[in-house]
């Protein structure tokens, strides 16, 4: 018994070049809409590739996959007790 599957709508291709590692990504329409919504909510005005990099960076940071070197204390956290 074979199951009939509905054809998927065509996906869009986003090309993002980060350093020397270009990457072509096909996004289904619902993911493309989500990416556009993310860009609007974050106030991003760049390309979809820029939005995709931003979303991936945010995700990787939140999951601990991307580690940013410690930049020291934030100005709001500074007081006389941490003066050297």
Q: How many domains does the chain have?
A: 1
pLDDT of residue 57: 92
Q: Answer whether residue 6 is part of any domain.
A: no
Quick check: helix, strand or coil at residue 13? strand
pLDDT band at 56 (very low <50, low <70, confident <90, very high): very high
Q: Answer whether residue 78 is part of any domain.
A: no
Q: Which range of residues forms the domain containing residue 43?
A: 12-66
Q: Answer whether residue 56 is part of any domain.
A: yes
Q: Answer whether residue 73 is part of any domain.
A: no
Evaluate whether 35 touches 44 at the Cβ level (below 8 Å). Answer: no
**Going by C-beta distance under 8 Å and a sequence separation of 6 or more, which residues neighbour residue 36?**
48, 51
Q: What is the mean pLDDT of residues 2-31?
A: 69
pTM of the predicted protein model: 0.60
Quick check: helix, strand or coil at residue 56? helix
**Residues 26, 31, 34, 38: what is their CA dihedral angle, to the nearest 10 degrees?**
-40
């Amino acid at each position: 018994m074979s199951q009939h599957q509905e054809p998927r709508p065509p996906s869009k291709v986003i090309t993002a070049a980060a350093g020397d590692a270009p990457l072509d990504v096909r996004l289904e329409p619902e993911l493309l809409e989500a990416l556009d919504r993310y860009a609007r909510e974050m106030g991003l005005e760049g390309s979809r590739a820029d939005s995709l990099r931003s979303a991936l960076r945010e995700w990787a940071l939140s999951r601990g996959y991307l580690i940013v070197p410690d930049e020291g204390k934030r100005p709001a956290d500074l007081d006389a007790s941490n003066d050297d």
